[in-house]
């Protein structure tokens, strides 16, 4: 049981308390999962946006004249 450490050793938990604690743990797990997925989605959006900006920058640089190559001949 998840919540064995919460109760005093001398008391037997009631079925209602046990069910409440299990439900509470499930709600906490769900909330954490939702938060993780939202953070992951935000990271993915940032990553795709950064990749698109970098690709646009690369395309721009490839279109420019390479002055270094003139001096390294």
Count of domains in the chain?
1
Domain enclosing residue 35, as ranges = 15-57
Instruction: Evaluate whether 29 touches 47 at the Cβ level (below 8 Å).
Output: no
User: Band of the pLDDT at 17, cuts 50, 70, 90?
Assistant: confident
**Residue 65 covered by a domain:** no
Phi-psi sector, 12: left (phi>0), alpha (psi -120 to 50), beta: beta
**Residue 38 covered by a domain:** yes
**Residue 8 covered by a domain:** no
The highest-confidence range among 18-22, 31-35, 65-69, by mean pLDDT, is 31-35
**Residue 29 covered by a domain:** yes
**Residue 72 covered by a domain:** no
pTM: 0.63
Contacting residues for 25 by C-beta, under 8 A, at least 6 apart: 2, 3
């Amino acid at each position: 049981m998840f919540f064995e450490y919460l109760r005093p050793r001398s008391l037997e938990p009631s079925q209602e308390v046990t069910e409440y604690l299990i439900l509470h743990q499930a709600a906490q797990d769900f909330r954490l999962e939702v938060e993780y997925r939202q953070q992951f989605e935000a990271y993915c959006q940032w990553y795709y946006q950064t990749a698109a900006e970098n690709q646009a920058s690369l395309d721009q640089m490839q279109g420019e004249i390479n002055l270094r190559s003139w001096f390294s001949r």
